Structure 1
Amino acid sequence: MTSRIFGYVSGSLTDDVQAGLSIAYAKQFDGWGENLADGKDVHRADNDLNVRSKFFFEPTSSTTIKLLFDYAHRDGTNGLNFRPYPGTKPLLPGYRQGGSKWDIDNAQAGDLRFDGGGAALTIEQDVGFAQLVSTTSYRRYSSFTNFAASMVPQPAQIIDISRSGNQETEELQLLSKASSKLKWVFGVFGIRSSETVDPLSVKLFGPLAPAPDSLALIDISAKTVAKSIAVFGQSSYEVLPRLNFTAGLRYTYEHRSFTGGETGMLNNGFDLGALPIPAVPPTVSFNNVSWRLALDYQLTPSTLLYASNNRGFKSGGYNGLDPTNPPYLPERLDAYEAGMKTELFDRQLRLNVAGFYYNYQNIQVSRFLQTATIYNGGQAHLYGVDIDVDAKLGAFTIEGGLEYLHNKFTRFPDAQFSVPQPNGGSLITSGDAAGNHLPFASTFSGNLSLTYTTALAGGDLALNVNGSHNSGYWLEPDNILKQPDYDLLGASIRWAPSNARYTLRLWATNLLNKAVIGFIASSALGSETDYSNQPRTFGGTLTIKFR
């Protein structure tokens, strides 16, 4: 059972100042599964608190100030709860199969604690010919997680991770007036972030540390500091009646610094001090030019055609959890898209269709060594089509979507291959993944929602059923292990009186009780999987409005 409480209040503090406060708290009394090793619940959020507040102030008719605060706290056993991939065995003996895929049999459940929050200040100033917007923000967090990678009830390898970090950003934008025929924006964005790992502890027991002089503890400490600045501009102009052309350009410079090391201790308590590790460059710098070119044409009042070309990038950096790994390079994406957006039959039918082609260079891929790390995976091509529909047919509302996605690595000569062994564990090697599918990329997915609304007992009753289908996806670049195709089904009943003071909703999710793999970490210990989606769940929600 899970209880959730949400409250929101807003109003005027003075004639010029408005404020709002929202608080959401959830407590999960029963986990989705059980750890057979100790009989305790796993996949359970013991406490989940989110607080947000905002203030809106207008000191003059041309100046507005917005101030936002937020804070979040989470703890429970909803971290990484590993069990073997179906049909595979752990390297170490002793694993017992649970009654459901949310059960584990592990020496350590996936504990997780998180505290974080921040503030953002936005000032908007009318400067006559344009609008000047300044956004300043600060964020800070700390987290602790521990889990066992061995997937067996006897302690063998337990990992504890303590992390903390902070981030400061500043963005200045100068925007054209809403009435201007030429729409434009120019700006500059800066960010500084720092993350500290202190420590990440790898604890080895039993068969992984059998002798008094066996390595029993590795402590990893690391600090990564990133600084980045970007200047950008974009403008849109109606070059012909109903035909708009948009062009944007962005230059980004990034500098990252890294310090880190490992210390070790033997089973007999002897302190090895600093362990020798490969040299990693202490700093790296990246720069990038990205752009956007787009055309849109209002074919009719209800039909818009568009086409675009975008170049973007994802930052490179360090694997802060593993100082033995070199920094990874930025990922570059060239994206091409064309489609149409329509609202037909007096807005009773909305139909959007888009075709796309993506070309990735230095695509970033995750793998598991001591911990999860990122490395570059060469080149990949993706193309496909998206279709979204929203229709109103009398008392019925139909919403749905389809996506077909062709996805392949076209160059990946040194991909990590994890081959499950018949007697347990995995053989970790490397190979050429060119021609393989990308991890977690489905060839086909679709969703459909049907809602029937009618008047009942002085209010509105809405009956909904919704479902989705996924063709499945490969879990790693080697395309050895796969999440099979699956279907999800949900339903709800909602009733609200005509005065809308309160709403009652009864709902059910994942009625077919499908378990879906959301994370995998293959290592010599085996193919470690985590089923992180929610099982079959029933509930009710009561919403009350106070005025």
Structure 2
Amino acid sequence: MKSKIFSACVVIPIGLYAIPALAQSKKSAPDAVSPDEIIVTAQRIAQSLQKVPISIAAVTGEALVRSGVTTTTDLPQVAPGLVISRNVFNIKPFMRGVGSALSPLGIENPVALYVDSVYIPNTGAIFFSFSNVDRIEVLRGPQGTLFGRNATGGLINVITSDPSDKFELKAEATFENYSTNTQKAYINGAISDNVSANIAFYNKHQGQGWGKNLITGQDVNSSRETGVRGKLRVDASEALSFVLTGFYTDIGGDLGLARVTIPGSVSADGYTGAISIYDNRGAAPSGGKGTHAGVSLRTDLDIQDNLVLQSTTAWQHASNINRWDIDGSPARGGDVLSDTDQYSFQQELLITRKSDAFDLTAGLFYFQDISKYNNIQIDNSASASVNARRVTRQRTRSYAAFAQATIKLDPRTNITAGLRYTRDETVYDGRRFAVAGNASPPGTLLNASLGLSSNDGALSWRIGIDHELGDNVMAYASYNRGFKSGGFDGPSVPRGALEPERLDAFEIGFKSEFLDRRVRLNVSSFYYDYRNIQLAQVTPTGSQTLNAARAESYGGEAELRVLPEVGLGRLEFGANMTLSHGTYKSFPNGPIGVPKPATCTPVPTTTGPATGGNLNCAGDLSGKKMIRLPDWTASLNFNYTVPIGAGELGLSASYTYNDGFFWEPANRIRQRGYGILGGEISYGFDDNRYKIRVFGRNLTDTKYLTQGSEGAAADLGSPGEPMAYGIGFGFKF
């Protein structure tokens, strides 16, 4: 299988190139139709998607709605190679196998998220829904030069609409099964000659859960979310403008908290799992709430033609209070309460210059983060030693300077070189106290890690070349270095810092449009050498983060878009496919959960039929597959709009298939292959000012997990959304 995947990754870019190359032998007609050209800012300047020598999936806000993508967890449906798992309210993106399964505060995910040029460090704060999104860019591979901050595996770049002087008013209400209703509204317009503003509002409430707690009879797996984002734009002159942004999000529910025993697993009390993955039986009530608020100021100054200075200043605060049952059983074997706060400040200065000879981007970046576990407490009736609460504080200061230049050797060939130096300084304090049930009196200091410090500094870079092989055909190759600082595993009160990650990525690919630009074919392939990987293990006291020594992976993506000529209306097809393979090349003393009865020595072994629960062992995991890295994924989608009567009928559908992957490095529990089908039928009338639509997500009611882990009491997981369907009514002016 390994050789087949490797061959495919090489053959796809080379073999498929023959199609666009032949098609370009005939020059496109002057009036060729372009299939909705998308402008992206992947290199911090506005460029056509087809001109950027990076593997990117870019989707407009309208396309997100048609595809049924409503939150960050749905993004894999439109971004091949992206896998998103959810633990509590934290969203864990994995791109080409690079990601973090259980990122505690202070250990940021290696797939970075930016919203309107602002870095979002809190993984619990990126669980948000899309309301006024202009587009989303998913950049694959290290983006360590221009974005830098922990963008080892890639970047999810969300761009929301800026204010303009054009009046816009749009709103929609939807009603779905599980007593779910959603309201969205957006208004934009001029306040005065030089001042404009917009505001977007989103509210979702799920009144009925996907399942039941079999012990209490209460609903489980439900959520609510309210958010507002507003912008004020001031054009002080033709050369100087300011955009002030403020936002607030409030989330609640128990998605990812009401965990279930994975089918096939035996829990410590002999339970083998309910018929439905949506039902759980935790003795402690599970649920949580979180808020995320922030403000930012972006200043743009046109110094002279094609020379622009941009300043971005931002402050954020994220707060989460969550409670869950760590063993998922009625035995009250580990009730967890977590209360966290995270404050961050960033300042970036960015200067860009475009000319006929070269393009230059350079900048300075400062980031400060304070992450606090005000309380993380475990109450376990079965094991007195774990009854404790921990109070921790971690402060990180990060400094970076970067520059990237693209030199135009001739009209068809460009060379790109970029360099970034990042230095992170982290200070950590953590204390662990006894609580009722512990052998020591409540309040007793059990252990402490005070004044720990970590200083990580490293260079990251990008070296690349791209060449236009013909009209609308570009080939490229690049070598990128990604860096992610070490830091401390906040909730575990560690004795030392983690090692920083390093990723060397090699990529080749091409981008093409042919047949009068009605067909777009983009293909890329990669090879990764990944060192000091930060992975997590679930333990009886919560979780801990550790370093794996080294992994190696390779694969590729192919994306096809077709805009065929039709007699009436507009028809569009899309198809995507990824192939990948990755293994841990060196991973001594890796975490292994072995079903009991079990022994850890001389090697981790199950000694008989599973009796319940797991023994936490360590062993050599070299040769095991990387987690959250499917062998292949594929998706198909179509969208057709046609005028009927005084209005327009819209038909769209999408299907995404994931071949499955392992949840843990020991490769014992696996998410099986699964497919998600979604669709929508809409009708807009009065020039699409009013629209009614019926829609469905997961129409085949596929059962799958969005998170899985090997726990001491059982193998536990969180279910993905079951079949959802509804109707929406909207208007716009």
Asked if Structure 1 and Structure 2 have the same fold, meaning a TM-score greater than 0.5 normalized by the shorter chain, the answer is yes
The reply to whether residue 34 of structure 1 matches residue 212 of structure 2 is: yes
Residue identity in the other structure for 1:111: G
Q: Give the alignment of 1:438-477 within 5 angstroms.
A: 438-477=626-665
Q: Distance in 2 between matches of 1:25 and 1:296?
A: 44
Question: Contact 1:54–1:67 (CA<8 Å) still a contact in 2?
Answer: yes
Residue identity in the other structure for 2:312: T
Q: Distance in 2 between matches of 1:14 and 1:138?
A: 28
Q: Distance in 2 between matches of 1:280 and 1:362?
A: 25
Q: Distance in 1 between matches of 2:525 and 2:226?
A: 40
- Which residue among 462, 469, 488 is the counterpart of 1:292? 462
The reply to whether residue 327 of structure 1 matches residue 502 of structure 2 is: no
TM superposition shift of 1:142 = 1.1
Question: Contact 2:318–2:342 (CA<8 Å) still a contact in 1?
Answer: yes
Question: Contact 1:280–1:326 (CA<8 Å) still a contact in 2?
Answer: no
Question: Contact 1:143–1:163 (CA<8 Å) still a contact in 2?
Answer: yes
Q: Distance in 2 between matches of 1:268 and 1:257?
A: 29
Q: Distance in 2 between matches of 1:396 and 1:413?
A: 53
**Equivalent in the alignment of 1:530:** 718
Question: Contact 1:372–1:521 (CA<8 Å) still a contact in 2?
Answer: no
- Shifted more, 99-108 versus 407-416: the winner is 99-108
- CA deviations on 1:434-454 (whole Å, 9 max, x unpaired) are 111111110010000123332
**Equivalent in the alignment of 2:554:** 383
Question: Contact 1:216–1:265 (CA<8 Å) still a contact in 2?
Answer: no
| 1:320/1:331 CA distance change after superposition, 3 Å | same
- CA deviations on 1:68-90 (whole Å, 9 max, x unpaired) are 11100011122422222211111
TM superposition shift of 1:151 = 1.6
The reply to whether residue 133 of structure 1 matches residue 326 of structure 2 is: no
TM superposition shift of 1:342 = 0.8
Question: Contact 2:264–2:273 (CA<8 Å) still a contact in 1?
Answer: no
**Equivalent in the alignment of 2:12:** none
TM superposition shift of 1:104 = 0.5
Q: Distance in 2 between matches of 1:15 and 1:480?
A: 64
**Equivalent in the alignment of 1:431:** 619
- Which residue among 434, 438, 450 is the counterpart of 1:264? 434
**Equivalent in the alignment of 1:408:** 583
Q: Give the alignment of 1:120-519 within 5 angstroms.
A: 120-128=296-304, 130-176=307-353, 178-205=354-381, 208-209=382-383, 214-215=384-385, 217-267=387-437, 271-277=441-447, 282-324=452-494, 326-369=496-539, 370-393=541-564, 394=566, 395-421=570-596, 422-497=610-685, 499-519=687-707
Residue identity in the other structure for 2:362: F
- CA deviations on 1:71-130 (whole Å, 9 max, x unpaired) are 00011122422222211111135x484442111111124312001110110111122372
Q: Distance in 2 between matches of 1:268 and 1:290?
A: 47
TM superposition shift of 1:282 = 0.7
TM superposition shift of 1:373 = 2.7
The reply to whether residue 104 of structure 1 matches residue 104 of structure 2 is: no
| 1:242/1:216 CA distance change after superposition, 3 Å | closer
| 1:381/1:374 CA distance change after superposition, 3 Å | same
The reply to whether residue 7 of structure 1 matches residue 182 of structure 2 is: no
Q: Distance in 2 between matches of 1:476 and 1:35?
A: 26
| 1:366/1:110 CA distance change after superposition, 3 Å | same
Q: CA RMSD in A?
A: 1.8
Residue identity in the other structure for 2:714: G
**Equivalent in the alignment of 2:25:** none
**Equivalent in the alignment of 2:116:** none
Q: Distance in 2 between matches of 1:237 and 1:265?
A: 63
Q: Any stretches of 5+ residues in structure 2 without a counterpart? A: 1-178, 597-609
- CA deviations on 1:336-378 (whole Å, 9 max, x unpaired) are 1111111111221111111111110111112112223321111
Task: Tell me the SS of whatever aligns to 2:611.
Answer: coil
Q: Distance in 2 between matches of 1:216 and 1:128?
A: 63
| 1:484/1:69 CA distance change after superposition, 3 Å | same
Q: How many residues align?
A: 536
Residue identity in the other structure for 1:85: I
TM superposition shift of 1:521 = 3.0
Q: Distance in 2 between matches of 1:122 and 1:432?
A: 49
Q: Distance in 2 between matches of 1:278 and 1:162?
A: 19
Residue identity in the other structure for 1:405: S
Question: Contact 2:363–2:402 (CA<8 Å) still a contact in 1?
Answer: yes
Q: Distance in 2 between matches of 1:106 and 1:113?
A: 19
Q: Distance in 1 between matches of 2:692 and 2:622?
A: 52
Task: Tell me the SS of whatever aligns to 1:327.
Answer: coil
Task: Tell me the SS of whatever aligns to 1:92.
Answer: coil
Task: Tell me the SS of whatever aligns to 2:492.
Answer: coil
- Shifted more, 332-341 versus 81-90: the winner is 81-90
TM superposition score normalised by structure 2: 0.71
TM superposition shift of 1:42 = 1.2
**Equivalent in the alignment of 1:20:** 198
TM superposition score normalised by structure 1: 0.94
Name whichever structure is richer in strand by fraction: 1
TM superposition shift of 1:156 = 2.3
Q: Distance in 2 between matches of 1:264 and 1:247?
A: 54
Question: Contact 1:80–1:109 (CA<8 Å) still a contact in 2?
Answer: no
TM superposition shift of 1:250 = 0.2
Residue identity in the other structure for 1:446: A
- Shifted more, 97-106 versus 27-36: the winner is 97-106
Question: Contact 1:418–1:522 (CA<8 Å) still a contact in 2?
Answer: yes
Residue identity in the other structure for 1:61: E
TM superposition shift of 1:428 = 1.0
Question: Contact 1:230–1:250 (CA<8 Å) still a contact in 2?
Answer: yes
Task: Tell me the SS of whatever aligns to 1:321.
Answer: helix
Q: Distance in 2 between matches of 1:494 and 1:359?
A: 47
TM superposition shift of 1:34 = 1.2
The reply to whether residue 543 of structure 1 matches residue 730 of structure 2 is: yes
| 1:281/1:367 CA distance change after superposition, 3 Å | farther
- Which residue among 61, 75, 81 is the counterpart of 2:238? 61
Q: Distance in 2 between matches of 1:43 and 1:4?
A: 17
Question: Contact 2:221–2:278 (CA<8 Å) still a contact in 1?
Answer: yes
Residue identity in the other structure for 1:536: M
Residue identity in the other structure for 1:134: S
Question: Contact 1:53–1:68 (CA<8 Å) still a contact in 2?
Answer: yes
Question: Contact 2:242–2:300 (CA<8 Å) still a contact in 1?
Answer: yes
- Which residue among 110, 116, 121 is the counterpart of 2:292? 116
Q: Distance in 2 between matches of 1:268 and 1:450?
A: 59
| 1:535/1:495 CA distance change after superposition, 3 Å | same
| 1:79/1:355 CA distance change after superposition, 3 Å | closer
| 1:79/1:523 CA distance change after superposition, 3 Å | closer
Residue identity in the other structure for 1:170: Q
Residue identity in the other structure for 1:202: I
